[in-house]
Amino acid sequence: MKNIKKNIIQASYFGQEGHIASALSILDILFVLYDKVPNLSLSKIDSNDRDILILSKGHASLAHAAVLEANKFITKSELMSYCSHESILGGHLNMKKVPGVEASTGSLGHGIAISVGMALASKIKKIQNRVFVIVGDGECNEGTFWESMLLASNHNLDNLCCIVDYNRSNDRALKLDSLHQKIKAFGWHVEEIDGHSHKEIISSLNSLSVDKPKAIIANTIKGYGIREMENNPAWHHRTPTKEELKQMIKELS
Amino acid sequence: MRAQFVKTVSKLIKSDENVVLLLGDIGVFGFRDMFVQYPERTYNIGILEQSTISLAAGLSLSNLIPIVHTIAPFIVERALEQIKVDLGYQELGANLVSVGASYDYAALGCTHHCPADVPTLNEIPGIEIVVPGHPDEFDKLFNQNYDNGNTTYFRLSEAKNIHAFNVEFNKNIVIQEKGEIVIIAVGTMLEVVLEASKNLDVTIIYCTTVKPFDFSTISKYLSKKILIIEPYYSGPILNNILRKTRNINGYFSSIGVPNDFINKYGSKADIDSMIGLDSKTIRRRILETISE
């Protein structure tokens, strides 16, 4: 994990781009997904029954790219080329360019509805797979998030698992308050976990809900693991200087 | 055309197991048999157009063929970013079929008008735009195209031409070749143009695919006076011609719905006369062009 975090900081430093704090907020979730969900592996990439992961909060792409590198979907040099002109990796990942990326997200509130479509497609085609989607709490402001909540429960998409990265960065704009009850009222099975506890993430991913889509509200810390960055809004869309890079790498060593 | 849409799509739901119909709570009664026979691929998805387009993109990513159907402003203007990003940018196959055209719902007012649908979608890279002029043409064009892997917008309208032509996707038809004036008529404007140009020596080209535009049919007329007559805000055909060539020495006039809100009610015919898309006004425009 520490190496992946270092890679995130370094890739952002080289590319002078990226939402590092958002990436660190979801890194544990992504790490566990690729580590523990066997059908998300590189060997299943062309299988119709592969599990699907959509990063609806596309700006946290650094975490996704770094985890894809750790799982051999892309190379280290590709990761370190992040956001350079010829790179396969932009600030929001393009599914046409990056193996393992199922949808080109970036505009908030799109990936969640796409994931509903993919989960519905699996039901239509009788494919026994799971569709995971990671949304941010800010993204939960979007009407399409709530439309998707309605659609998924209405069509009993129990193959869909929505993980909400609840780092509360959006509280300054539009508080979600009782998010658990709200999603539950939309007909979902809801669990709430510590989004940095691998044990809790694993346990939550393993427990399946029957006849209902499942939401995991992952309580997270934006910028998790780097003291200067944790819950510091200044780091929402900032890249480190050379000196900051040195300090962060030291902190992670 | 809506009745034909129901027939054409019902047939495809039966014959192609990849077809999935998503209705925005309109046209539901027409598909009542499909809801019973193919419930897993026939949905009255609800009144949530943005998520419907993204959901359609999800189906398409899973190699299904979505057909989304609702009223033009809601499918095009409300869900525009979803069409742009989820279908256009991701280069996915989908079919968007609208009703209402520019002002078929004349009596309902501007919220239900959509003369911007074609000009707006014309600016999204890769999106195909089909404007049939007759129900039979819709059937032909839809069957030719629905599974071609691209996103295609089909514009249904209440109006229709008297006769159907043997249309092909991305192919203009030269209806008649006479004189020095060339009229490009899009979709249901053909009937108006035929009426307006009675006994006049004009060349008439019929267009049912706005994008990609069949430039080859009109390239030889570029030094003549060209009148483009479109049933939506004017511009897309001329834009698409200018994107193909710089070699224009002729005369162009682009006639369509004026760029104003239509704050009157009544029937489509009332609005046609009010804004000059009726045969009488079009004839006057043709005669003016001849004498200019």
* Residues paired with A54 in a beta bridge: A133
pLDDT at B248: 73
User: How many C-beta atoms surround the C-beta of residue B198 within 10 A?
Assistant: 8
B135-163 average pLDDT score: 97
Q: Which residues of A15-35 are buried (b: 16+ CB within 10 A; e: fewer)?
A: bebbbbbbbbbbbbbbbbbbb
Q: Where are the domains of chain A?
A: 2-252
Between CA B84 and CA B106 the distance in angstroms is 28
Residue range A73-127, pLDDT digits in tens: 999 999 999 999 999 999 999 999 999 999 999 999 999 999 999 999 999 999 9
Q: What is the DSSP letter of B171?
A: B
Residue range A153-199, pLDDT digits in tens: 999 999 999 999 999 999 999 999 999 999 999 999 999 999 999 99
Distance of residue A211 Cα from the nearest chain B Cα, in angstroms: 16
Residue range A188-240, pLDDT digits in tens: 999 999 999 999 999 999 988 889 999 999 999 999 999 999 989 899 899 99
Residue with tokens 């770094």: A66
pLDDT at B72 over 90: yes
What percent of chain B clears pLDDT 90, i.e. is strictly above it?
A: 96
User: How many C-beta atoms surround the C-beta of residue A198 within 10 A?
Assistant: 15
Per CB-CB distance under 8 Å, the chain B contacts of A96 are: 90-91
Residue range B195-251, pLDDT digits in tens: 999 999 999 999 999 999 999 999 999 989 999 999 999 999 999 999 998 777 778
Per CB-CB distance under 8 Å, the chain B contacts of A118 are: 58-59, 61-62
Between CA A85 and CA A88 the distance in angstroms is 9
A128 part of contact set with chain B, CB < 8 Å: no
Instruction: Assign a CATH topology to domain A2-252.
Output: Rossmann fold (3.40.50)
A124 part of contact set with chain B, CB < 8 Å: yes
Between CA B243 and CA B221 the distance in angstroms is 16
Distance of residue B38 Cα from the nearest chain A Cα, in angstroms: 11
Of A106, A122, A150, the CB nearest to B62: A122
The CATH class, in words, for B2-155 is: alpha beta
Tokens of residue B115, six digits: 């003369």
Provide the mean pLDDT of chain B.
Answer: 96
Per CB-CB distance under 8 Å, the chain A contacts of B82 are: 110, 113
pLDDT at A210: 84
What percent of chain B clears pLDDT 70, i.e. is strictly above it?
A: 100
Instruction: Assign a CATH topology to domain B173-291.
Output: Rossmann fold (3.40.50)
Q: Of B13, B62, B90, which to mutate for an interface test with A (greatest number of A Cβ within 10 Å)?
A: B62
- B119 upstream amide cis, omega within 30 of 0: no
A102 part of contact set with chain B, CB < 8 Å: yes
Between CA A74 and CA A69 the distance in angstroms is 5
ipTM of the complex model: 0.95
Provide the mean pLDDT of chain A.
Answer: 96
pLDDT at B246: 78
Q: Where are the domains of chain B?
A: 2-155, 173-291
Per CB-CB distance under 8 Å, the chain A contacts of B92 are: none
8 Å CB contact between A5 and A252:
yes
Examine domains B2-155 and B173-291 and report if their fold is the same. Answer: yes
pLDDT at A253: 87
8 Å CB contact between B182 and B174:
no
Tell if the CB–CB gap between A114 and B40 is shorter than 8 Å: no
Tokens of residue B218, six digits: 């009109």
Tell if the CB–CB gap between A114 and B54 is shorter than 8 Å: yes
Degrees, nearest 5: CA angle B82-B85-B88: 105
Tell if the CB–CB gap between B55 and A102 is shorter than 8 Å: no
Residue with tokens 């993430």: A201
